[in-house]
Amino acid sequence: MLKEVNVLASICVSIVCSASWAQSASPESRPPMKRDVYLVLTKSSLNGACDIPNSPYACMVKDVEVCRKNLPIAIDQCEGKMKNQMPAEIKPEESRHWSTQFARCIVDDYVLLAGAANLNPGKCPRGGQ
């Protein structure tokens, strides 16, 4: 159950944050991205995620208000954690790895903050799996 949500969330963050930068040109022509810029882009990609139909964050809870309350907290907590783990510059070939790590952190913290009584990942679509 949580594994499916982690996969959905990782895909969501990876696609939105890193796709245009990491896949837009040949690896040799892409400069590294500063960690803080990378985190801001990733964080901003999640703005409104609770109000997007079938968003992994919105669909895993019974009430969208639980998402709206807890997702921003989880994102902020994980931004702080990632600053301590990530290198100062993210190379294009490392982008997917760090997006996945950030997404996993967000999901783990979000699930803890929301609480088991508020979770309903059965609502989440399973497309592509």
* Domain limits, the chain: 2-19+32-123
Distance CA(69)–CA(43), nearest Å, equals 16
What pLDDT digit, counting tens, does each position of 76-89 carry?
999 999 999 999 99
Confidence label for 9 from pLDDT (cuts 50, 70 and 90): low
Task: List, for residues 16-28, the tens digit of each pLDDT value.
Answer: 444 444 555 565 5
Query: pTM of the entire structure?
Result: 0.75
CA geometry: angle 36, 41, 45, nearest 5 deg: 145
pLDDT in tens, 21-69: 455 556 556 789 999 999 998 888 888 999 987 788 888 899 999 999 9
